[in-house]
Structure 1
Amino acid sequence: MTTNTFLGLVLVAVVAALVLRRLRPAWYWLSVGVTLAMVRIVVRYASVMDACGLTVPPSRLRLTLARMTNRPAPQSRPPRILRMRPTRTGLVLRLKLQPGQDAFDFAASTDRLRHSFAMHGVSSREVKSGVVELRMTGYDVLARVQMPAKIQREGLRIPVALREDGEVFYRDYQEVPHALNLGATKSGKSVYQRHLVKELAAQHVALVGIDCKQGVELAPLARRFSALADNPDTAADLLEALVERMAETYQVIRREQRISADTPDAEITADLWGLPEDLRPVPVVLLVDEVAELALYSNPAEKKRRERIVTALVRLVQLGRAAGIYVEICGQRFGAELGDGITMLRAQLTGRVSHRVNDEASAKMAFADISPDAVLATTQIPVERPGMAVAGDSTGGWVRIRTPFTTMRQAVNACTTHAHRTPVLEGLESFRPVLPALAPVEIPAPAARPATA
């Protein structure tokens, strides 16, 4: 092979790698990028840690031994690498901290580490005392959301989005029973809700919806809903019926406790999930689309209706978890200007997801009582990335996520496929949507073959 031929092949390979990096960043990362990144980290590790101030000076014993033996003074020690594991989106670096180091120093240095190691993103978390995990992403995983082929689905823990570190973001209703979903028009809020319904359709759960936009968002998915309200008057009656169902569920739990000296500890329960399966009522997920329509009023009659709605919602979010009733509230704004009781209602919504908003005040409604950094991240969501959001909870942690685009047809197909799972809720039969029977699909008969002689 001549020199010109070799240089030509190298040039073709470089051009192919650049094109692959542009068009298929995931393929580029798995084929070329992960190897280059690992070599870059190994070569630069000590100098980067020293430049970022993540090293510790040598101990007095080492300095004394160096002076006694007339040797050069030892250098500062970086944290020890315990493990470096490649993933489909980046690298996971687990470090053993040196004495005197703090996990907060690594969290504060993630942006400098991202530049130094030439990675797209770096996040830090403390695994246990003295061990920190740096999760690095090699490319922008939120530019084109692709959920992993193998996703763990377990009960009411469902995947709804992809995190900026490449991990799957789960909505776990048993851990975070109630949540708030904010977002301006065309921000992806409705797609998030649509994807939520699509994933819940396959689970053993009853879906109850309130859509005061005459049902335009939830009515197409009605085959999987046990109850649906499309106006504030019906919504008030539906919410009060859910409160009555919650009280009846508590009566079942109270009746089945049978606390006595010979009852095993594992059989004593204070919520729905401790009941035997044959006695356990089906859990309910309540989805409220555009909550502001439930809180607005223009005359005394509508004001009384609003008080009924807000009172019922507050009762459900305060007491519904143990009865297996979970609330998902969506809206463009959710502040004190909606009237009395709204702040109390918002305080009970542990999970917070905020898509792009029109002003900083809307972001503060979601995250001001959780994390100021999450407020800033919410205001920086670009318009050209619908579906991108900031998710947080009451612990103060937050992360950027993006929901995979789900068409209405995909959600409708999922609800139609699992329509047989729709339970009939006692006391809510009058709110069950009335739908025509599905038309049979006619399969054309195969063309007759010509007779052969």
Structure 2
Amino acid sequence: MTDATVWLEATGALAGAGGLGYAKVRAPRVYWSLVGLPVTWARFTWSYRSTMDVCGLTVQPSGFRAFVTRNVARREVLPVPPKVRRVRGTSTGLRVTLRLPAGLEPADIAAASERLRHAWGVHAVTVAETKPGFVELRMTGYDVLNRVRLPRSARADGLVVPVALRDDGTVFARDYRAVPHALTLGANQSGKSVYQRSLIKGLASLPVALVGIDCKRGVEQTAYGPRLSALATTPDQASALVDALVGEMGDRFDLLARHGVSDLWELPEKVRPVPVVVLVDEIAELFLIASKKDEERRERLVTALIRLAQMSRAVGLYLEVCGQRFGSELGRGATMLRAQLTGRVVHRVNDKQTAEMGLADVAPDAVPAAGLIRADRPGTAVAGDSSGGWSRIRTPHVSRSEAVAACRQYTHLVPSLPALAPFRPDVPDPVTAPGPSLVKPRPVTE
């Protein structure tokens, strides 16, 4: 009986160890919640003060505190680390809120993040300022970008579309009211198309008008026709469509003037026009010309795009521009248009200059990070904004069929916009596979 008990205990221990090993590889969230989180929390608790001291994140206490410590408590006066206000565990890591003492700033904590990562044995440590005097250490227990899966609570709502996951475990969402226009850059096979599919899939369920400009003869966006209010597949069609959008913008400004407001969202809901999101698949195709006769069309098109980028935010027209490269070598107006695109997402690129085109003017510190994106991790990108902040993100894989299915599912949400009616794509009825015949054959007899 004793031998059987020992055998069962050993078998159970081996099974448990094997299960934890399997969970660490295949289910890192489970492994982190069961093992990683308690171990990291304990390591942080016991080594916090000494770690802050050796990392140079302590300051001398105030004169009054030093006096009380020396004369009342009869203890040696030691440097003071940031005070821990809150520790919270998550399914991906650990969140620690710190109150900074006088003499420290968030940049000091951020500069030591790599040392803190090694000291506490976590995958990454990022620092976010929550309010003056307070920062949050966001520790990530494992590589959340290895197998990306958005939380179930991440749903498109209003004009906010969750499209990717940050490396600190939070959701990266495209908020059109906060960042009206954006530029997405990336080389071939970098995951740029997957990012666009994820965006279209989320936008399809929202009450917005989607306008596509795909001058590669529509090979990317034609399949999304059931949900598009307009589609242009050649530079000439794109020029006419952008002119129509400029006209729609003028009509909306007249509407704002009649109601005495300066923003679309200040209008009463019953008269408020539907927002419009313009998806440009390859911006370079709108700039490149093959002959002199195309130059006039290019100038008119680029001028109209710049006008949209400068003024359309107030009337609910938003630009989502994608391309492999977007620099001054495309021609006059390229740099001016790029300057109006506040949001920046840069996937793997072929040269440093392309990363600088996308990030150097909004988040210079993010340029080196964009150059380190590996080719075997498509969908990984660096997202920056005009505040100078940036984060590493990765889009979950969204197949073309999933995006097309979402567009077909929400066809009824296509709004009626008379200005865009001539550009509405023709949507053929889906072809269904023939089913089995219900007629019973009868043999022919003489």
Structure 2 CA distance for partners of 1:62 and 1:422, relative to 1, 3 Å: closer
Q: Does 1:187 align with 2:190?
A: yes
Q: Does 1:363 align with 2:355?
A: yes
Match of 1:234 among 229, 232, 237: 237
Match of 1:155 among 143, 153, 158: 158
Match of 2:418 in 1: 426
Match of 1:101 in 2: 104
Q: Does 1:306 align with 2:298?
A: yes
Match of 2:125 in 1: 122
Match of 2:381 in 1: 389
Report the 3-state secondary structure (helix = DSSP H, G, I; strand = E; otherwise coil) of the residue aligned with 1:385.
coil
Match of 2:173 in 1: 170
Match of 2:144 among 125, 141, 145: 141
Q: Distance in 2 between matches of 1:152 and 1:421?
A: 17
Report the 3-state secondary structure (helix = DSSP H, G, I; strand = E; otherwise coil) of the residue aligned with 2:58.
coil
Structure 2 CA distance for partners of 1:224 and 1:71, relative to 1, 3 Å: same
Offset of residue 425 of structure 1 = 1.6
Match of 2:134 among 114, 131, 134: 131
Q: Distance in 2 between matches of 1:3 and 1:439?
A: 65
Offset of residue 444 of structure 1 = 7.8
Match of 2:256 in 1: 253
Q: Does 1:406 align with 2:406?
A: no
Letter of the aligned partner of 1:333 in structure 2?
Answer: R
CA contact (8 A) 2:164 2:171 kept: yes
Which deviates more from structure 2 when the two are superposed, residues 54-63 or residues 218-227?
Answer: 54-63
Match of 2:282 in 1: 290
Structure 2 CA distance for partners of 1:37 and 1:69, relative to 1, 3 Å: closer
Offset of residue 273 of structure 1 = 1.4
**Deviations 1:47-86 (Å, cap 9, x if unpaired)?**
1111111112344445556665795523322222111111
Sequence identity (%): 51
Q: Does 1:43 align with 2:46?
A: yes
Q: Distance in 2 between matches of 1:36 and 1:8?
A: 25
Letter of the aligned partner of 1:26 in structure 2?
Answer: R
Match of 1:379 in 2: 371
Q: Distance in 2 between matches of 1:274 and 1:294?
A: 34
Q: Distance in 1 between matches of 2:232 and 2:42?
A: 58
Letter of the aligned partner of 2:153 in structure 1?
Answer: K
Gaps of 5+ in 1: 258-268, 447-453
Letter of the aligned partner of 1:54 in structure 2?
Answer: L
Match of 1:417 in 2: 409
Match of 1:25 among 9, 23, 28: 28
Structure 2 CA distance for partners of 1:20 and 1:303, relative to 1, 3 Å: same
Match of 2:441 in 1: none
Q: Distance in 2 between matches of 1:294 and 1:207?
A: 19
Offset of residue 237 of structure 1 = 0.5
Match of 2:225 in 1: 222
Offset of residue 281 of structure 1 = 1.2
Letter of the aligned partner of 1:160 in structure 2?
Answer: V
Report the 3-state secondary structure (helix = DSSP H, G, I; strand = E; otherwise coil) of the residue aligned with 2:294.
helix
Report the 3-state secondary structure (helix = DSSP H, G, I; strand = E; otherwise coil) of the residue aligned with 1:226.
strand
Structure 2 CA distance for partners of 1:61 and 1:292, relative to 1, 3 Å: same
Letter of the aligned partner of 2:37 in structure 1?
Answer: V
Match of 1:320 in 2: 312
Match of 1:262 in 2: none
Q: Distance in 2 between matches of 1:9 and 1:55?
A: 47
Q: Distance in 2 between matches of 1:169 and 1:431?
A: 32
Match of 2:442 in 1: none
Q: Distance in 2 between matches of 1:241 and 1:249?
A: 12
Offset of residue 149 of structure 1 = 1.2
Structure 2 CA distance for partners of 1:441 and 1:298, relative to 1, 3 Å: closer
Q: Distance in 1 between matches of 2:74 and 2:317?
A: 70
Letter of the aligned partner of 2:235 in structure 1?
Answer: P
Report the 3-state secondary structure (helix = DSSP H, G, I; strand = E; otherwise coil) of the residue aligned with 2:418.
coil
Structure 2 CA distance for partners of 1:32 and 1:442, relative to 1, 3 Å: farther
Q: Does 1:212 align with 2:215?
A: yes
Offset of residue 97 of structure 1 = 1.7
CA contact (8 A) 2:29 2:92 kept: yes
Q: Distance in 1 between matches of 2:211 and 2:178?
A: 20
Q: Distance in 1 between matches of 2:88 and 2:435?
A: 51
Offset of residue 411 of structure 1 = 0.4
Q: Does 1:341 align with 2:341?
A: no
CA contact (8 A) 2:57 2:81 kept: yes
Which deviates more from structure 2 when the two are superposed, residues 428-437 or residues 239-248?
Answer: 428-437
Q: Distance in 1 between matches of 2:247 and 2:27?
A: 53
Match of 2:85 in 1: 82
RMSD over aligned Cα atoms: 2.1
Q: Distance in 2 between matches of 1:32 and 1:70?
A: 39
CA contact (8 A) 2:70 2:77 kept: no
Q: Distance in 2 between matches of 1:79 and 1:445?
A: 77
Which deviates more from structure 2 when the two are superposed, residues 28-37 or residues 155-164?
Answer: 28-37
Gaps of 5+ in 2: 439-446
Report the 3-state secondary structure (helix = DSSP H, G, I; strand = E; otherwise coil) of the residue aligned with 1:180.
strand
Q: Distance in 1 between matches of 2:228 and 2:67?
A: 75
Letter of the aligned partner of 1:325 in structure 2?
Answer: L
Q: Distance in 2 between matches of 1:202 and 1:150?
A: 15
Which deviates more from structure 2 when the two are superposed, residues 10-19 or residues 44-53?
Answer: 10-19
